[in-house]
Structure 1
Protein backbone atom coordinates (compact mmCIF):
# COMPACT_ATOMS: atom_id res chain seq x y z
CA UNK A 1 0.00 0.00 0.00
CA UNK A 2 1.47 3.40 -0.96
CA UNK A 3 2.30 5.90 1.74
CA UNK A 4 -0.58 8.37 2.14
CA UNK A 5 0.63 10.69 4.86
CA UNK A 6 1.16 14.43 4.53
CA UNK A 7 4.68 14.99 5.92
CA UNK A 8 6.58 18.28 5.95
CA UNK A 9 8.39 17.38 2.72
CA UNK A 10 5.05 17.69 0.85
CA UNK A 11 4.44 21.27 2.04
CA UNK A 12 5.71 24.68 1.03
CA UNK A 13 6.86 25.98 4.39
CA UNK A 14 8.43 29.42 4.04
CA UNK A 15 8.01 32.67 2.15
CA UNK A 16 10.91 31.82 -0.15
CA UNK A 17 9.14 28.67 -1.35
CA UNK A 18 5.96 30.62 -2.07
CA UNK A 19 7.73 33.50 -3.84
CA UNK A 20 9.67 30.98 -5.94
CA UNK A 21 6.33 29.79 -7.36
CA UNK A 22 4.81 33.29 -7.69
CA UNK A 23 7.82 34.75 -9.53
CA UNK A 24 7.88 32.25 -12.35
CA UNK A 25 4.81 30.04 -12.39
CA UNK A 26 5.06 27.53 -15.23
CA UNK A 27 1.43 26.43 -14.94
CA UNK A 28 -1.84 28.07 -13.97
CA UNK A 29 -4.98 26.02 -13.43
CA UNK A 30 -8.34 27.57 -12.57
CA UNK A 31 -11.21 25.95 -10.76
CA UNK A 32 -14.47 27.30 -9.40
CA UNK A 33 -13.52 29.33 -6.33
CA UNK A 34 -9.81 28.59 -6.52
CA UNK A 35 -6.67 28.81 -8.62
CA UNK A 36 -3.46 26.81 -8.63
CA UNK A 37 -0.07 28.18 -9.62
CA UNK A 38 2.67 25.63 -10.17
CA UNK A 39 6.34 25.57 -10.96
CA UNK A 40 8.34 22.53 -12.02
CA UNK A 41 10.53 21.16 -9.27
CA UNK A 42 13.59 18.93 -9.15
CA UNK A 43 12.61 17.36 -5.83
CA UNK A 44 10.87 14.37 -7.38
CA UNK A 45 7.59 14.89 -5.53
CA UNK A 46 4.88 17.57 -5.34
CA UNK A 47 4.82 20.23 -2.63
CA UNK A 48 1.72 22.26 -1.81
CA UNK A 49 1.11 25.61 -0.15
CA UNK A 50 -2.25 27.21 0.63
CA UNK A 51 -3.29 30.85 0.65
CA UNK A 52 -6.74 31.56 2.05
CA UNK A 53 -7.21 35.22 2.93
CA UNK A 54 -9.76 36.65 5.34
CA UNK A 55 -10.72 39.11 2.64
CA UNK A 56 -11.93 36.31 0.35
CA UNK A 57 -13.18 33.81 2.95
CA UNK A 58 -14.53 35.64 6.01
CA UNK A 59 -15.22 32.88 8.53
CA UNK A 60 -12.39 30.83 10.05
CA UNK A 61 -14.48 27.67 9.87
CA UNK A 62 -14.77 28.09 6.09
CA UNK A 63 -11.04 28.78 5.67
CA UNK A 64 -10.15 25.72 7.73
CA UNK A 65 -12.62 23.49 5.84
CA UNK A 66 -11.11 24.56 2.52
CA UNK A 67 -7.56 23.91 3.72
CA UNK A 68 -8.53 20.54 5.18
CA UNK A 69 -10.16 19.40 1.92
CA UNK A 70 -7.19 20.53 -0.20
CA UNK A 71 -4.70 18.78 2.08
CA UNK A 72 -6.77 15.59 2.03
CA UNK A 73 -7.03 15.69 -1.75
CA UNK A 74 -3.26 16.14 -2.11
CA UNK A 75 -2.56 13.42 0.42
CA UNK A 76 -4.68 10.90 -1.50
CA UNK A 77 -3.40 11.92 -4.97
CA UNK A 78 0.27 12.57 -4.17
CA UNK A 79 1.47 9.54 -6.14
CA UNK A 80 -0.31 10.79 -9.27
CA UNK A 81 0.80 14.43 -9.12
CA UNK A 82 3.83 15.60 -11.12
CA UNK A 83 6.93 16.88 -9.29
CA UNK A 84 5.85 20.52 -9.02
CA UNK A 85 5.55 23.17 -6.32
CA UNK A 86 1.88 24.19 -6.14
CA UNK A 87 0.27 27.22 -4.51
CA UNK A 88 -3.51 27.01 -4.12
CA UNK A 89 -5.28 30.37 -3.82
CA UNK A 90 -8.85 30.55 -2.54
CA UNK A 91 -11.11 33.02 -4.33
CA UNK A 92 -14.31 34.68 -3.19
CA UNK A 93 -17.24 32.32 -3.07
CA UNK A 94 -15.28 29.16 -2.27
CA UNK A 95 -17.13 28.95 1.07
CA UNK A 96 -20.41 28.48 -0.83
CA UNK A 97 -19.21 25.31 -2.57
CA UNK A 98 -20.17 22.04 -0.86
CA UNK A 99 -17.50 19.47 0.03
CA UNK A 100 -18.33 17.01 -2.75
CA UNK A 101 -18.20 19.68 -5.46
CA UNK A 102 -14.98 21.12 -4.05
CA UNK A 103 -13.40 17.68 -4.05
CA UNK A 104 -14.46 17.09 -7.69
CA UNK A 105 -13.03 20.51 -8.63
CA UNK A 106 -9.71 19.62 -7.00
CA UNK A 107 -9.51 16.25 -8.76
CA UNK A 108 -10.15 17.97 -12.10
CA UNK A 109 -7.45 20.54 -11.32
CA UNK A 110 -4.93 17.80 -10.46
CA UNK A 111 -5.66 16.02 -13.76
CA UNK A 112 -5.20 19.24 -15.75
CA UNK A 113 -2.04 20.04 -13.82
CA UNK A 114 -0.64 16.59 -14.54
CA UNK A 115 -1.48 16.86 -18.25
CA UNK A 116 -0.02 20.37 -18.56
CA UNK A 117 3.13 19.45 -16.61
CA UNK A 118 3.79 16.51 -18.94
CA UNK A 119 3.42 18.84 -21.93
CA UNK A 120 6.06 21.31 -20.71
CA UNK A 121 8.46 19.06 -18.82
CA UNK A 122 11.78 18.35 -20.53
CA UNK A 123 12.02 14.83 -21.92
CA UNK A 124 13.92 12.32 -19.83
CA UNK A 125 17.15 10.93 -21.33
CA UNK A 126 15.57 7.44 -21.12
CA UNK A 127 12.39 8.40 -23.01
CA UNK A 128 12.16 6.49 -26.26
CA UNK A 129 15.21 4.34 -25.51
CA UNK A 130 14.64 0.62 -25.75
CA UNK A 131 16.93 -1.82 -24.04
CA UNK A 132 17.93 -5.09 -25.65
CA UNK A 133 17.82 -8.08 -23.31
Structure 2
Protein backbone atom coordinates (compact mmCIF):
# COMPACT_ATOMS: atom_id res chain seq x y z
CA UNK A 1 0.00 0.00 0.00
CA UNK A 2 1.56 3.35 -0.97
CA UNK A 3 2.13 5.99 1.67
CA UNK A 4 -0.47 8.72 1.40
CA UNK A 5 -0.53 12.23 2.79
CA UNK A 6 -3.20 11.45 5.36
CA UNK A 7 -2.67 11.90 9.09
CA UNK A 8 -4.16 8.89 10.90
CA UNK A 9 -4.22 8.37 14.64
CA UNK A 10 -1.40 5.82 14.26
CA UNK A 11 0.89 8.64 13.05
CA UNK A 12 0.63 10.55 16.35
CA UNK A 13 2.26 10.12 19.73
CA UNK A 14 -0.58 10.03 22.24
CA UNK A 15 0.65 8.68 25.57
CA UNK A 16 2.96 10.46 28.05
CA UNK A 17 5.18 7.36 28.06
CA UNK A 18 5.74 7.77 24.30
CA UNK A 19 6.81 11.39 24.77
CA UNK A 20 9.12 10.42 27.67
CA UNK A 21 10.79 7.76 25.51
CA UNK A 22 11.54 10.30 22.76
CA UNK A 23 12.85 12.94 25.18
CA UNK A 24 15.03 10.32 26.92
CA UNK A 25 16.72 9.43 23.62
CA UNK A 26 18.39 12.89 23.55
CA UNK A 27 18.78 13.12 19.78
CA UNK A 28 17.85 16.59 18.57
CA UNK A 29 17.75 18.63 15.36
CA UNK A 30 17.07 22.33 15.79
CA UNK A 31 17.07 25.75 14.23
CA UNK A 32 16.00 29.24 15.28
CA UNK A 33 12.29 28.40 15.49
CA UNK A 34 11.95 24.69 16.28
CA UNK A 35 13.57 21.76 18.00
CA UNK A 36 12.79 18.21 16.87
CA UNK A 37 13.54 15.41 19.32
CA UNK A 38 13.83 12.02 17.67
CA UNK A 39 13.94 8.38 18.68
CA UNK A 40 14.10 5.15 16.71
CA UNK A 41 10.79 3.37 16.18
CA UNK A 42 9.72 1.17 19.10
CA UNK A 43 8.77 -1.81 16.92
CA UNK A 44 9.40 -3.24 13.48
CA UNK A 45 10.12 -0.67 10.79
CA UNK A 46 7.74 -0.24 7.87
CA UNK A 47 7.29 2.46 5.24
CA UNK A 48 5.61 5.58 6.58
CA UNK A 49 6.07 4.53 10.20
CA UNK A 50 7.12 7.98 11.37
CA UNK A 51 5.01 9.37 14.23
CA UNK A 52 4.85 12.89 15.62
CA UNK A 53 4.00 14.54 18.92
CA UNK A 54 3.69 18.26 19.62
CA UNK A 55 4.86 19.93 22.82
CA UNK A 56 4.34 23.66 22.33
CA UNK A 57 4.82 25.17 25.78
CA UNK A 58 2.96 28.22 27.02
CA UNK A 59 6.27 29.40 28.46
CA UNK A 60 7.71 29.59 24.92
CA UNK A 61 4.59 30.80 23.08
CA UNK A 62 2.34 32.89 25.32
CA UNK A 63 -0.89 33.22 23.37
CA UNK A 64 -3.15 30.27 22.62
CA UNK A 65 -3.90 31.47 19.09
CA UNK A 66 -0.15 31.52 18.33
CA UNK A 67 0.34 28.03 19.80
CA UNK A 68 -2.58 26.70 17.75
CA UNK A 69 -1.27 28.34 14.55
CA UNK A 70 2.16 26.78 15.14
CA UNK A 71 0.64 23.35 15.83
CA UNK A 72 -1.46 23.49 12.65
CA UNK A 73 1.61 24.42 10.62
CA UNK A 74 3.72 21.62 12.15
CA UNK A 75 1.00 18.99 11.60
CA UNK A 76 0.52 20.04 7.98
CA UNK A 77 4.26 20.05 7.31
CA UNK A 78 4.68 16.59 8.83
CA UNK A 79 1.62 15.21 7.05
CA UNK A 80 3.12 16.16 3.68
CA UNK A 81 6.56 14.67 4.46
CA UNK A 82 5.66 11.65 6.59
CA UNK A 83 6.44 9.12 3.88
CA UNK A 84 9.86 10.63 3.19
CA UNK A 85 11.31 11.03 6.69
CA UNK A 86 13.20 8.31 8.51
CA UNK A 87 10.97 5.90 10.44
CA UNK A 88 10.84 6.87 14.09
CA UNK A 89 9.13 9.01 16.67
CA UNK A 90 9.47 12.79 16.63
CA UNK A 91 8.46 15.43 19.18
CA UNK A 92 8.44 19.02 17.94
CA UNK A 93 8.88 21.90 20.38
CA UNK A 94 8.79 25.60 19.49
CA UNK A 95 11.28 28.24 20.49
CA UNK A 96 9.97 31.67 21.59
CA UNK A 97 10.91 33.18 18.21
CA UNK A 98 8.23 31.01 16.57
CA UNK A 99 5.48 33.10 18.18
CA UNK A 100 6.29 36.12 16.02
CA UNK A 101 7.36 34.28 12.86
CA UNK A 102 5.24 34.47 9.74
CA UNK A 103 3.61 31.32 8.35
CA UNK A 104 6.15 31.33 5.52
CA UNK A 105 9.05 31.44 7.99
CA UNK A 106 7.53 28.61 10.02
CA UNK A 107 7.14 26.41 6.94
CA UNK A 108 10.67 27.17 5.73
CA UNK A 109 12.19 26.34 9.13
CA UNK A 110 10.25 23.07 9.31
CA UNK A 111 11.12 22.13 5.73
CA UNK A 112 14.81 22.60 6.52
CA UNK A 113 14.57 20.32 9.57
CA UNK A 114 12.54 17.63 7.81
CA UNK A 115 15.04 17.61 4.91
CA UNK A 116 17.80 16.71 7.37
CA UNK A 117 15.68 13.72 8.46
CA UNK A 118 14.66 12.44 5.01
CA UNK A 119 15.50 9.01 3.66
CA UNK A 120 18.50 9.16 1.36
TM-score, structure 2 as length reference: 0.88
CA distance in 2, matches of 1:63, 1:75: 18
Secondary structure of 2:17's aligned partner = helix
TM-score, structure 1 as length reference: 0.80
1:126 matched residue in structure 2: none
2:38 is equivalent to residue 34 of structure 1: no
Deviations 1:29-48 (A, max 9, x none): 11222100101114431000
2:117 matched residue in structure 1: 113
Compute the RMSD of aligned alpha carbons: 1.6
Structure 2 residues without counterparts, runs of 5 or longer: none
Structure 1 residues without counterparts, runs of 5 or longer: 119-133
Identify which of structures 1 and 2 has the higher relative contact order when contacts are C-alpha pairs closer than 8 Å and 6+ apart: 2
CA distance in 1, matches of 2:108, 2:33: 12
CA distance in 2, matches of 1:30, 1:2: 26
1:104 matched residue in structure 2: 108
Deviation at 1:84, TM superposition (A): 1.1
CA distance in 2, matches of 1:2, 1:20: 25
2:53 matched residue in structure 1: 49
1:14 matched residue in structure 2: 15
**Displaced runs of 4+ in structure 1, greater than 2 A?**
none
CA distance in 1, matches of 2:60, 2:68: 13
Q: Which has the larger radius of gyration?
A: 1
Deviations 1:80-111 (A, max 9, x none): 11101001011112111111111011011011
**Aligned mate of 1:61, from 58, 65, 82:** 65
Instruction: Tell me the number of residue pairs that the alignment of Structure 1 and Structure 2 aligns.
Output: 115
